[in-house]
Amino acid sequence: MSFDTTSMSSDLPFLGPRSGPSSMDLQQLSRRPKHHVSPTLGELMQLVGDSNVVVPNQNNVFETLHSSPFVLSFNNLTYSVKTPRKITLSNALNGGKISVSNTKVLLDDISGEAREGEIMAVLGASGSGKSTLIDALANRIAKERLKGSVMLNGEVLESKLLKVISAYVMQDDLLFPMLTVEETLMFSAEFRLPRTLSKAKKKARVQALIDQLGLRNCAKTVIGDEGHRGVSGGERRRVSIGIDIIHDPIVLFLDEPTSGLDSTSAYMVVKVLQRIAQSGSIVIMSIHQPSYRIMSLLDKLIFLSRGQMVFSDNTSKLPEFFAQLGNPIPENEDRTEFALDYIRELEISGAGTKPLVDFYKSWSRNQNRETTLFQGAKMSLKDAISASISRGKLVSGATNIDSNLSSTVPTFANPFWVEVVVIAKRSMLNSWRSPELYAIRLGAIVVTGTILATMFRNLDNTPRGIQERLGFFAFAMSTMFYTCAEAIPVFLQERYIFMRETAYNAYRRSSYVVSHSIIAIPSLIFLSFVFACITFWAVGLAGGSMGFFTFLMFIFASFWVGSSFVTFLSGVVAHVMLGYTVVVAVLAYFLLFSGFFITRDRIPAYWLWFHYISLVKYPYQGVLQNEFDDPNKCFVRGTQIFDNSPLGAIPDAMKVNLLKSISRTLGVNITSSTCVTTGADILSKQGVTDIDKWGCFWVTIALGFLFRILFYFALLVGSKNKRR
Ligand SMILES: Nc1ncnc2c1ncn2[C@@H]1O[C@H](COP(=O)(O)OP(=O)(O)OP(=O)(O)O)[C@@H](O)[C@H]1O
Ligand SMILES: [Mg+2]
């Protein structure tokens, strides 16, 4: 069935109501009753599924809505941070009292209430604590540091539940630059919407969202970044909002969703938010300086000044507040501008905002006396969530609703394997769109391989050839690790997106780790194949096709453990330069302790542990065994024992005579054709006897898995994403 977006929205849906005359003008809009109802995503999707179903009777929905109102209340929120004590030189010299307090209060006793269907806006000058308040409400400040309570319908919000029912749109946009707007939203839909929903419905939801956010014109445009031109800043902002509202969260937090947008785009964004609120959500956002039109969409305002609350009530109360304060807002002046200017003046004046804060406190006490009647009729949280879900909010596949609140809604919309597939699909699309990253790696392998192939061309089996072979293997096996380091910036860039996505349960961390590992394998196999093909025959390595295959396997194993190691590091260090430095240093040590420069029996006992954790040791020993394990092969025969010694330069006839006298002295018969050193001798001389060939292979592979697991724990610990 084709999906007709016009049945849900007009061409400019953010400017016109979904049902009703699309030509309704803005003035009418802003005068509409606040509690009219937009269809939820669930209702929209019913429409998608069956064109005969009409939009539910608005009155019915209105009743349902009002029988399940959500009220988010927060009381006495106080948050302070420790700042380094300031010791001025004069203070110290005079032995004066160092009186500068070392705690800074960022939020001071903030209380308020946000209701379903409403937009609550936090206003204030830069640095007044808007983002901090939003963070506090969204449970992004460590519990032990934040005093006060945040409750939904009178129940303390568990962090686990809040993650599921809420979304947080941050101030800056973090998106994959190579995906189009439509793809970005589609991936979000695949993460956030349950598997039970057909692909067609997910697509329909994305299309509806594209219309709703006014992104139709740029739906097929890539997001872009500094390098590639993509969508505009305002469009990017709306895409960021789109990915977080795709599942219709019950509580939506936004930090300055309109900053950097022109007034029309800003209005469009807030209009969309109003719609979301009216479909049964609580919307809380910070905003810098709302235009007159945007003000008409905001239901509640909180004004902050240096972490203190100077006003918190319905937007309509603002003039009354200032009138009672004795400073009525002049007729022709913008209300918020007036309020912000007034607060700013107090802040810079000697008196400070204390009188205003005190006045607000007494004023709000009077107000509360008048409005307590309105507060009643709350549903329990569990019932409210159930009612909301049955209306189609919070599309996360919830079907069974039992007594346990946290299991009312599943923590993740999809099973593990679906997440793995979707993440893999997204990374493949990303790599496909930016082939240069892979090309650089391939280039590095081809160049290194070619240099090695020409430098070590056609090595023979003489003592010198053996020495050169050892050098070749040591270098070749560490190349794999160094080329893996190139992936660090990519991983680090992705890390922030990952943190954002997992913070609000888009997918499991484990799915990311698994997907990330699986997706790496095919490209690593290809790189290994290229490197092995370039070097194996050119250098003249032993073992024929079986030898080649084993060599290939070891190269792959090195790539695997190298990429796992680098991935793990990217989960631990947050900075690119630091990442490179650590990788290069650690790999140099790995090579030093691999057994090539100094054999195991010569390594001091207290360094032996490093030899065993050296990731280069295992693949290096493996390829050595692959090279020298042919028992029929001889590497030093007869007079060759003089090669690489001071006697190497004497004429051959003299060497033969020398050999004869040596034979006589030792009592054994060594002729020019006697084999003096076999492969096994070389291996034991190199100390490559502790683990056999396949043992080395499996240890390497297992270490790769170990680092992937460590990566998982690093993500688990490192991505808490909370303020302290
Ligand atoms: N860890 C910290 N240590 C010291 N001061 C801090 C810390 N975190 C935040 N602040 C201060 O808290 C104040 C409030 O910061 P916040 O980010 O909430 O401001 P804001 O109102 O969102 O400003 P803007 O409009 O510029 O985004 C600022 O003065 C900031 O410098
Ligand atoms: Mg801020």
Q: Is the pLDDT of residue 377 over 80?
A: no
Q: Which pair of structure tokens corresponds to residue 632?
A: 């029929």
Q: What confidence score (pLDDT) does residue 98 get?
A: 52
Which is more confident, 498 or 40? 498
Cβ atoms within 10 Å of 107's Cβ, excluding its own:
23
Q: What sign results for the dihedral spanned by CA atoms 176, 179, 185, 190?
A: negative
Mean pLDDT, range 629-642, rounded to an integer: 84
Question: How many residues are there in the chain?
Answer: 724
Q: Ligand 1, from 128, 146, 347: best to mutate by most atoms within 8 Å of Cβ?
A: 128
Cβ 288 vs Cβ 108: under 8 Å = no
pLDDT band at 457, cuts 50/70/90?
A: very high
More confident residue, 29 or 480: 480
**Ligand 1, atom nearest to 286 Cα:** 22
Rank 47-56, 80-89, 273-282, 350-359 by mean pLDDT and report only the highest: 273-282
- CA–centroid distance, residue 222 to ligand 2 (Å): 28
E strand or H helix at 608, and its extent?
helix 608-613
Given the CA of residue 724, which atom of ligand 1 is nearest to it? 1
Q: β-strand 300-305 against 119-124: which pairing, if any? A: parallel
Q: Tell me the CATH class for 65-70+115-141+158-392.
A: alpha beta
**Is the pLDDT higher at 223 or at 409?**
223
Tell me the CA–centroid distance for residue 302 and ligand 2, in Å: 14
DSSP symbols for 48-108: HH-TTPPPPPHHHHHHHHHHS--EEEEEEEEEEEE-PPP--HHHHHHT------SEEEEEE
pLDDT value for 44: 52
More confident residue, 409 or 713: 713
- Nearest residue by C-alpha to atom 2 in ligand 1: 81
Tell me the two tokens of residue 75.
């009381």
Kindly report the three-state secondary structure assignment for every residue of 405-440.
HHHCCCCCCCCHHHHHHHHHHHHHHHHHHCHHHHHH
Q: Given this model, what pLDDT does residue 394 score?
A: 64
The pick from 130, 135, 310, 347 for probing ligand 1's pocket by mutation, whose C-beta has the most ligand atoms within 8 angstroms, reads 130
- Short-list 709, 691, 439, 707, CA closest to 554: 691
Report how far ligand 2's centroid is from the alpha carbon of 303 (Å).
Answer: 14
CA-CA-CA-CA dihedral for 173, 243, 229, 431, to nearest 10? 100
Angle formed by the axes of helices 233-245 and 199-212, nearest 10°? 140
Q: What is the dihedral of CA 642, 647, 651, 654, to 10 degrees?
A: -80
pLDDT digits (tens, 9 = 90+) for 484-499: 888 888 788 888 888 8
| Residue 60 pLDDT | 42
Q: Which atom of ligand 1 is nearest to the CA of 304?
A: 21
Taking the CA of 128 as reference, the closest ligand is 1
Can you give the three-state secondary structure of 163-217, one letter per residue?
A: HHHEEEECCCCCCCCCCEHHHHHHHHHHHHCCCCCCHHHHHHHHHHHHHHCCCHH
Q: How remote is the CA of residue 501 from the centroid of ligand 1, in Å?
A: 24
Average pLDDT over residues 470-497: 86
Nearest Cα residue to atom 29 of ligand 1: 127
Q: Does 637 score more than 70 pLDDT?
A: yes
Residue 59's pLDDT band, with cuts at 50, 70 and 90, is: very low
Expressed in angstroms and rounded, the spacing between residue 138 Cα and the centre of ligand 1 is 16
Distance, CA of 315 to CA of 301 (rounded, Å): 6
112: enclosing H helix or E strand: strand 103-115
Whose structure tokens read 């106080």?
78
Q: Which of 321-335, 517-531, 565-579 has the highest mean pLDDT?
A: 517-531
Q: Are 231 and 185 in contact (CB under 8 A)?
A: no
- Burial (CB < 10 A; 0-12, 13-18, 19+), residue 607, is exposed
Q: Which ligand is nearest to the CA of 132?
A: 1
When the pLDDT of each residue in the chain is averaged and rounded to a whole number, the result is: 81
Beta-carbon contacts of residue 35 (< 8 Å; ≥ 6 apart):
62, 65, 66, 117, 278
Asked which of 183-192, 200-209, 377-386, 522-531 is least confident by mean pLDDT, the reply is: 377-386
| Centroid of ligand 2 to alpha carbon of 255 (angstroms) | 7
Write down the residue that tokens 């349902």 correspond to.
64
Residue 167: which pLDDT band, with cuts at 50, 70 and 90?
A: confident
Strand partners, 167: 252
Q: For a pLDDT cut of 70, what percent of the chain falls above it?
A: 83
- Residue 570 is inside which H or E element, if any? helix 544-572
| pLDDT (average), residues 37-49 | 53
For the chain, report the end-to-end CA distance as a whole number of angstroms.
51
How does DSSP assign 639-704, residue by residue? GGGGTTSGGGGS-HHHHHHHHHHHHHHHTS---TT-EEEEHHHHHHHTTTTSS-HHHHHHHHHHHH
Mean per-residue pLDDT for 301-307? 90
Residues with CB under 6 A from ligand 1: 81, 83, 104, 106, 124, 126-132
Q: Taking residues 149-165, what's their average pLDDT?
A: 81
Kindly list the domain boundaries of the chain, sorted by start residue.
Answer: 65-70+115-141+158-392, 439-636+678-718
Mean pLDDT of 642-663: 85
Q: Which tokens sit at 69?
A: 């109102």
Q: Whose CA is nearest to atom 16 of ligand 1?
A: 129
Burial group, residue 305, by CB count within 10 angstroms (0-12, 13-18, 19+):
buried
